[in-house]
Chain A
Amino acid sequence: MQDDALQDNSTLLGADELILNMGPQHPSTHGVLRVKLKLDGERVRGTECVIGYLHRGVEKIAENRTYQQVAPYVDRMDYVAAISNGLGYCEAVEKLLNVEAPPRARVIRTILTELQRIASHLVWLGTHALDIGALTPLFYCMREREEILKIFEKYCGARLTTHAFRIGGLQYEAYDGFEKEVERFCLDFERRIQEYVDLLTGNSIWIGRTRNVGVLNAADCIALGASGPILRAAGVKWDLRKAQPYAAYDQYKFEIPVGTNGDTYDRYMVRIEEMRQSRLICLQAIEKIPEGAIMGKVGKVIKPPAGEVYHSIEAPKGILGYYIVSDASTQPYRVRIRPPSFINLQALDKMVRGHLVADVVAIIGTLDIVLGEVDR
């Protein structure tokens, strides 16, 4: 019935389409996304995303900075998962330089990145639940995220835009008691996840609001380039941590959760399970952090040979890729970033067509976009 209504151009009662402008200042477009909705009553007939309100030209700025100076800028793209951004950039430059971070640095990087994944998913869960009308999970999620941010703060002095890693390894040694604090968080966290699950997973209103909402099947995901939990919820077992291991992921055992329907509920379940898996990775990693140096052999001045490199990692929101071209100077010739949020946002129109206004909010939430990353 929905499809029929979409194909012919007349609306249900023969009235004009209503154009509703959502954003850029709207409580649930997660930043400054502007969506123009074409509505027939409450039913969405089409959308148009207007982006660019947070454009800062990170890629252009990168051309005028030395390699080290670029690193803090990439933290400000996906500011909810700054450490993942930094990891991708540092590893891309290391690939260009043909050096490897020492094992100790790689393990600490893995731990911090996985903690960051948990933190990012917690922000997603809290805001997504709030969009659907559940007020309380947000505060529970922020409470746990605070613990993670405290660990980051102790490690590198910053909580949000951390700049935790350096090209070639780490600047800071792990502080005393780092393992213990990570362990304490991870052991406690299973119980906390259960709290969110109790509030949401079996709740029939939650199921009604998420099941069969914003369905994106595997073929559509691949055609649109969607990655991360969105792709996995459609049943595609594709995770770069397993497919092209980086950092120290090849040393740890973990599962890749996948869904079946590719609807909002599946994406919720996939992300919840990913938090559990990240917790397991952290627990395995702190068991044996290798001793040794934390910096590889990288000169004070980074001057990679001329050439180009593409490196991608599995950021919390999907595949985050860096394409860097070097002209053998101290500054990159070109940096091109493949942000997961930007690509995933393309799926919005496909997902919301035929749904109601309330579902638009749920679907923007389930895409887990960060506008800093979409606009760069």
Chain B
Amino acid sequence: MNPTLHAILVFLQTWWVELTSGVVIVAVVPLVAGYVVLVERKLMADMQARLGPMRVGPHGLLQPIADAVKLLIKEDIIPDEADRLIFWLAPVISMTAALTSMGAIAFGPSFQVARDINIGILFVLGVSSLGFLGIILGGWASNSHYSIMGALRSTAQLVSYETAGGLAIIAGLLLSGTLSISGIVAAQEKYHVWFIFLAPVAAFIYLVASIAETNRAPFDLPEAESELVAGYMTEYSGFRWALYFLGEYANMIVVGSIATTLFLGGWLRPFPNVHWLNWLDFLPALIIALIGVYSIYRAGKQPVMVQTGFMWAVALACFAVALIFAMPWFVGTLKFVIPGLNGAFWFLLKVSAYIYVFMWLRFTLPRYRFDQLMHLGWYILIPLAIVNVFAVGVAMLLESNGVNRWLALILTTLVTLVFAILLVRWHDRRTESASTASLAPDSYAG
């Protein structure tokens, strides 16, 4: 055999999982991100007493595709004064980092996207942090004041909140004792409880920090559209802009997955070890079938034939998926897929819930100011996260010395909460005295 061909074959044989999953990620994640955007717009419309996208496809379902086509055929503008190479490179870095970090995420017990790395969480964190390089470089290369200010804000925000988020993750890792993603979920199965109940403060800190890391409201200062036009993306248009945009939404999915894995029990269903709740395993099939039934109910109310047909199609698709979920229960030889399928269902449900919280906050809250953001990060979240790591460590120590685990954790959590209240009180008093001091009397009158 030709040695080159042989080498290629060996290479493929070794790495085919990674290669395939790479292709799948590149093909699927942008589509999913596009539909996350659509869901966000629809939810926002619902909360704001309007309809949202309705024109492209039934209920605007084809809107992401139309948007992508529009962005692809837009004129490609690079500002004259921009640093062309870096301008070109920056969105690619951003997008690549977001997609690469998807690789280590596991959707089910035997459902890794690429491979179960023994330092999974570390890999995801490290690679997704690289995405900010894209933001900073893009802001710098644009050679525009708005862009550079957006990029600077982003840098400062990243440094502060990665720290807080990392410390929150450490608390979760202390409980699980491993960095491997499947190991973390296995630990939660072993403990019979999700880590959000064991380390609620860490989960909360991670929620806040992850919103800030993904540049979402109320921490969307790098791209605050009412102040900096579009922040670091101001000079970008067309598909370069779309890369940034997709990177941002892919990042949301990544942080959602980390939080799900670490705090929400990964692919475990609620109460995984309570046997009389085993009927919960039927739930995925049931829920999907119910969506199908609802679609049929709605089909009768559609004003146009096309829409009625579409609703029927949705219903049939739902029934088909429900059948796939239900099939293994009846066909003995397929029993082995049950944990994988159900795991993926629960995992995606939890990630969706997490992203829903992101969106909900975005529609409700005004935006922080830059100094307030920094104060929140450095004066409250980071000290709290450090104390929390200590508290969880102390709890683990007490547990190994024979104290009941729940008692130890509740005690240490209470101590952390008291510390948090004191911290917030102190910070409020500090900002109050600072702001009254700056109100110097000044007048033109007289």
The chain A residues found within 8 Å of chain B, CB to CB, are 1-3, 18, 20-21, 26-28, 42, 129-136, 138-140, 143, 199-200, 203, 205-206, 208-209, 211-212, 215, 217, 219-220, 222-224, 354, 356-361
Q: Is B365 an interface residue (CB 8 A)?
A: yes
Chain B residues with Cβ below 8 Å from A206 are 366
- Asked if residues A140 and B48 are in contact (CB atoms below 8 Å), the reply is yes
- Asked if residues B445 and A219 are in contact (CB atoms below 8 Å), the reply is yes
What secondary structure prevails in chain B residues at the interface with A? loop
- Asked if residues B48 and A135 are in contact (CB atoms below 8 Å), the reply is yes
- Asked if residues B368 and A208 are in contact (CB atoms below 8 Å), the reply is yes
What secondary structure prevails in chain A residues at the interface with B? helix
Contact of B49 among A143, A354, A356 (CB under 8 A): A143
- Asked if residues A223 and B438 are in contact (CB atoms below 8 Å), the reply is no
Chain B interface, number of residues (Cβ within 8 angstroms): 40
- Asked if residues A27 and B229 are in contact (CB atoms below 8 Å), the reply is yes
- Asked if residues B149 and A42 are in contact (CB atoms below 8 Å), the reply is yes
Considering the complex of A and B, which 5 residue pairs feature the smallest CB-CB distances, nearest first?
Answer: A133-B367, A223-B444, A139-B48, A219-B445, A28-B226
- Asked if residues A3 and B440 are in contact (CB atoms below 8 Å), the reply is yes
- Asked if residues B49 and A209 are in contact (CB atoms below 8 Å), the reply is no
Give CA–CA (A133, B366) in the complex, Å. 4
The stretch of B69-77, B81-89, B217-225 that contacts the partner chain:
B217-225
Nearest residue in A to B437 (C-beta to C-beta)? Answer: A1
A133-B217, A358-B224 given as contacts; is B438 within 8 A of A2 (CB)? yes
Give CA–CA (A212, B372) in the complex, Å. 13
Q: Is B13 an interface residue (CB 8 A)?
A: no
A129-B366, A357-B227 given as contacts; is B443 within 8 A of A212 (CB)? no
Nearest residue in A to B369 (C-beta to C-beta)? Answer: A358
Chain B residues with Cβ below 8 Å from A136 are 47-48, 363-364
Bitwise, B365-388 to A at CB < 8 A (1) or not (0) is 111111110000000000000000
Give CA–CA (A199, B443) in the complex, Å. 35
Give CA–CA (A131, B438) in the complex, Å. 24
Contact of B370 among A135, A212, A222, A358 (CB under 8 A): A358
Chain A residues with Cβ below 8 Å from B444 are 219-220, 223-224
Q: Is B192 an interface residue (CB 8 A)?
A: no
Chain A residues with Cβ below 8 Å from B47 are 136
Chain A residues with Cβ below 8 Å from B55 are none
- Highest count of chain A CB atoms <10 Å: which of B218, B365, B366, B367: B366
Nearest residue in A to B50 (C-beta to C-beta)? Answer: A139
Chain A residues with Cβ below 8 Å from B298 are none
- Asked if residues A203 and B445 are in contact (CB atoms below 8 Å), the reply is no
Given contacts A208-B368, A358-B221, 5 further A-B contacts (CB under 8 A): A2-B438, A3-B440, A27-B226, A27-B229, A140-B49
Contact of A26 among B48, B229, B364 (CB under 8 A): B229
- Asked if residues A133 and B363 are in contact (CB atoms below 8 Å), the reply is no
Chain A residues with Cβ below 8 Å from B362 are 135
Give CA–CA (A364, B227) in the complex, Å. 11
Chain B residues with Cβ below 8 Å from A140 are 48-49
Q: Is B145 an interface residue (CB 8 A)?
A: yes
- Asked if residues B365 and A203 are in contact (CB atoms below 8 Å), the reply is yes
- Asked if residues B365 and A205 are in contact (CB atoms below 8 Å), the reply is yes
Chain B residues with Cβ below 8 Å from A219 are 443-446
Nearest residue in A to B225 (C-beta to C-beta)? Answer: A27
A134-B366, A212-B439 given as contacts; is B49 within 8 A of A139 (CB)? yes
Contact of B218 among A42, A133, A222 (CB under 8 A): A133
Q: Is B435 an interface residue (CB 8 A)?
A: yes
- Asked if residues A208 and B372 are in contact (CB atoms below 8 Å), the reply is yes
- Asked if residues A220 and B227 are in contact (CB atoms below 8 Å), the reply is no
- Highest count of chain A CB atoms <10 Å: which of B364, B367, B444: B367
Give 10 CB contacts A-B under 8 Å: A3-B438, A133-B218, A133-B365, A134-B366, A205-B218, A206-B366, A219-B443, A220-B442, A220-B443, A359-B369
